[in-house]
Amino acid sequence: MAQTQVFPFQKKAPAGTVLLIDHLSKTFFLKNGQAIEALKEIHLEIQENEFFCLVGPSGCGKSTLLRIIAGLEQPTSGAVFYRGERIEKPRREIGMVFQHYTLLPWRNVEDNVALGLELRGRPRRECLEVAHKFLRIMGLEGFAKAYPYELSGGMQQRVAIARALANEPEVLLMDEPFGALDAHTRILLQKELLRIWSLDQPTIIFVTHSVDEAVYLADRIGVMERRPGRIKEIIPVDFPRPRDRALPEYGRLCQRLLDLLGD
């Protein structure tokens, strides 16, 4: 396993808003005509270099919100702006890591990681160089030629993260990326993610239903409620990283979030 030590690091100063989620609502219609308010009046400003976590019960619309930010779905009203530009379709500056890895099974690891650059028409040599750089960062040297079906879930998710990072996004959206992994791998990858984030601190929006995960990772936590999907409260987490799960304030914050979610 790769080294996973997280060093304390200097948090970059916020440099302005990178994403503005402006009074966004999304309504689905069921076959029988019934309207479901998946998201209602979400208003959020995400700062540059921020690690923002969204927690909420399942069905609160947190994945839908992420998909709208990614440009994969359209809101019913309101909009998302990336540096002042309205997001209408996926764009390269906004990358995404899905819960189910979604590696292309017919491509080996390096070709999966190189996909973003390949789509931008970069020469093959450059694609592979960059891919290998990010495979090294993710501790995946030696797996470049392996196929996804030969890897464990944790390894596949590392490749998926490498694939998103190799495209050099400014915002990284992560939709319950560790949700399908066992507890040990999950904690390992949380540390890894913080280590990688500390390198050049891209803006991350991380969706999870684990309160512990949110407290361990985030600068700010948006707590969502369901029906209609709304942001109930935004809680800043100001203790330094790496965070010690044994500290009383860590536990107290987790408990506070659980109480908020339980109401």
Partner 1 sequence: MEKYQSLSWTRGTEIWSSLKDQALTLLVPLLCLLAWKFYASRLDNPVVLPYPETVLSIFFQPWKDVVGQGSLLQNMGISLARVLAGFFLAILVGVPVGLLMGYCPLLFKLFNGVLNFLRFVAPLAWMPLTLLWFGIASLATLWGINEGPAYHWLNNIKLAMVFLIFIGAFFPIWIESIHAAQSVDRRFIEAALVLGASSRDVFFKVLLPGAAPHIVNGIRVGLGIAWRTVISAEMIPGSLAGLGYLVWYSYSLWRTEVVLVGMAYIGIIGGALDLFFRWLAQRELHWFYRG
Site for partner 1 in 164-203 (CB under 8 A): 164, 167
Q: Give the one residue of 30, 84, 106, 246 binding partner 1; rule: CB under 8 A.
A: 106
Residues from 13 through 72 that contact partner 1 (CB under 8 A): 70-72
- Candidate list 15, 35, 104, 247; residue touching partner 1; CB under 8 A: 104
Q: Rule CB under 8 A: is residue 81 a binding residue for partner 1?
A: no
Which of 26, 40, 163, 191 binds partner 1 (CB under 8 A)? It is 163
Which of 4-12, 25-33, 118-126, 212-220 is the region at the interface with partner 1 (rule: CB under 8 A)? Answer: 118-126
Report the b/e string of 169-189 with b at 16+ CB within 10 A: bbbbbbbbbbeebeeebbbbb
Place of tokens 């209408």: 88
Q: Which is nearer to partner 1, 159 or 221 (CB)?
A: 159
Output 66 or 231, the one with its CB closest to partner 1: 66
Contact between 91 and partner 1 by CB under 8 A: the answer reads: yes
- Going residue by residue from 140 to 159, which x/- string records binding to partner 1, judged by CB under 8 A? -------xxx----------
The residue count for binding partner 1 (CB under 8 A) is: 29
**100 binds partner 1, rule: CB under 8 A:** yes
Encoded tokens for 215: 């407290």
The residue among 63 and 212 lying less far from partner 1, judged by its C-beta, is 63
Task: Give which of 229, 261, 231, 232 is closest to 36, Cα–Cα.
Answer: 229
Under 8 Å CB-to-CB from 121, ≥6 apart: which residues?
none
CB of 102 to partner 1, least distance (A): 4
CA 162 to chain centroid, in Å, comes to 13
Quote the tokens at residue 89. 């379709």
Q: Which stretch binds partner 1 (CB under 8 A): 79-87, 113-121, 126-134, 182-190?
A: 113-121
Rg of the chain over CA atoms, in angstroms?
Answer: 18
Nearest Cα to Cα of residue 113 among 104, 100, 121, 122: 104
Q: Residue 7, interface with partner 1 (CB under 8 A)?
A: no
Residue from 95, 139, 202, 229 binding partner 1 (CB under 8 A): 95
Pick one of 12, 43, 92, 227: the residue that binds partner 1 (CB under 8 A): 92
127 lies in the site for partner 1, by CB under 8 A:
no
Question: Between 35 and 119, whose beta carbon lies closer to partner 1?
Answer: 119
Residue ranges binding partner 1 (CB under 8 A): 70-72, 89-92, 94-96, 98, 100, 102-107, 115-116, 118-120, 147-149, 163-164, 167
